[in-house]
Amino acid sequence: MRLPLLLALLFGAVSALHLRSETSNFESLLGAKTLPEDEEMPEQEVEELEGEEEGGSGSEDASKEDRAVESISVPDVVDRNLLCPKEEDTVQLVGIPGCPTCRRYLLVRHPHTFDQAQLTCQRCYRGNLLSIHDCNLNYHIQLSVSMLNQGQVWIGGRIIGSGFCRRFEWVDGSHWNFAFWAAGQPSFHGGHCVALCTQGGHWHTAKCCRRLPFVCSY
């Protein structure tokens, strides 16, 4: 009697242990899935992505502001800071003798860049930088500015275009029909604006950002 009972108890204990082991393995397999069934993204990663999107928008806005600053043209900046020359900084130049109807000329001794000089002639005297169309006027202007300590003054000539299309023009729109270049001039590497030498009256190309006295015609 005892032997069958012991065998039955032993068989029952072994079956219980085997069932418990299978249940444990099945639960561990279920626990290996770390994301929900719809695979929602963890909150921390969502916050990081939102932060990146906000940062990207800020960078784009900053880039737009930079482009807006770069789009401001030099004449706009010059215009805001424009001050007309004081009377003591100007000299009324002698025009062509025997020509009372000829244009008047004014030397501004305070140095300006080419663009500033042209804008000053326009806004303060309703004129332009001087255009020269014959040797006679060039000679008289040179005599009038020869007392300056600086060696050159701006006149209204400049280079426009590039390569084979480069040409000279006067800022007042008049025809380019005369030139009085110094030896070795014009030099396209020297600059794109034209200056007159106070000694000798010959012309040189110069960098437009140079600050020189200038002559207005009005």
For residue 198, what is the domain's CATH number? 3.10.100.10
pTM above 0.95, yes or no: no
Q: How many domains does the chain have?
A: 1
Alpha-carbon distances of 148 from 7, 106, 151, 207, rounded to whole Å: 129, 14, 7, 20
3-class SS at 108?
Answer: strand
One digit per residue, the tens of pLDDT, for the chain of length 218 reads 555 555 556 555 545 554 455 544 444 444 444 444 444 444 444 344 344 444 444 444 434 433 333 333 344 444 667 899 999 999 998 666 666 667 899 999 999 999 999 999 999 999 999 999 999 999 999 999 999 988 999 999 999 998 889 999 999 999 999 999 999 999 988 899 999 999 999 999 999 999 999 999 99
Look up tokens 């005369």; give the residue.
Answer: 178
Residue 58 lies in a domain: no
Range of the domain at 200: 76-217
